[in-house]
Amino acid sequence: MRGGQIKLFDDTFHTVNYVFKAGEKRSRTTWVNYAYARRCDELKQPYPDWLTAYLDERNEVQKSPCLFGLPQLLTADAHQPVAIVEAPKTAIISTPYFPGFIWLAVGALSYLNAERLAPLRGRRIELFPDLSTDGRAFDRWNRVAGELLADGFQITVSTYLEDNATDEERVAGADLADFLLEQWPDQSPQWGE
């Protein structure tokens, strides 16, 4: 494990945003190491050794950025294809709908690169970029996929969202999870029932 992200979602499965200074909106996102350190500070307790090492900038502890869900490769069949999406939420939601893939996430549109995908070399990879108003998200991942293909990766880009999206979905920057969640009943699921 290299890190753990903590993200707050609302009952529509979208990231909760709050207004920061000067009207700037930010998501309710943090990291386990920061939250744990803050809690230790509040309780006036010493940091455990692993946290001290993790927070020490001089230390060689490798932190994110790895693919979300990467540990699945340890137990998955070597021939099982990998699907890559931008958000971890989308990888989680897509898994039961498309169990033929190992679902991973890069974490952000610009994080798709050869370094992050290096553990997938030799596997078949399909990218599922988010939507964007002008198609720039698809175009960017398609360009990067071309570079990765030239570098020896077995990679394709799905056109499913581009082919089936409405203008409203493009403006909203919808992703595969949004398409799948539209299929859920109108009422929110009651967790724990």
Structural domain boundaries of the chain? Answer: 5-55, 70-181
Q: What is the pLDDT of residues 145-189, one digit of tens each?
A: 999 999 999 999 999 999 999 999 999 889 999 888 887 655 444
- Closest residue by Cα to residue 163 from 147, 177, 179: 179
Looking at residue 158, its pLDDT comes to: 95
Looking at residue 184, its pLDDT comes to: 63
In angstroms, the Cα distances linking 78 to 98, 155, 167, 181 are 17, 15, 38, 30
How confident is the prediction for the chain on average, in pLDDT?
84
Q: What is the pLDDT of residues 68-118, one digit of tens each?
A: 889 899 999 999 999 999 989 899 999 999 999 999 999 888 889 998 999
Q: Which CATH class is domain 70-181?
A: alpha beta
Q: What is the pLDDT of residues 13-30, one digit of tens each?
A: 667 777 777 777 777 677
Q: Tell me the pTM.
A: 0.76
Q: State the pLDDT confidence band at 123, using cuts at 50, 70 and 90.
A: very high
Distance of CA 161 to the CA centre of its chain: 17
DSSP states of 68-122 = BTGGGGGTS-TTS-EEEES-HHHHHHHHHH-TTSEEEE-SSGGG-SHHHHGGGTT
Looking at residue 187, its pLDDT comes to: 42
Q: State the pLDDT confidence band at 47, using cuts at 50, 70 and 90.
A: very high
Looking at residue 191, its pLDDT comes to: 38
Q: Which tokens belong to 36?
A: 């744990």
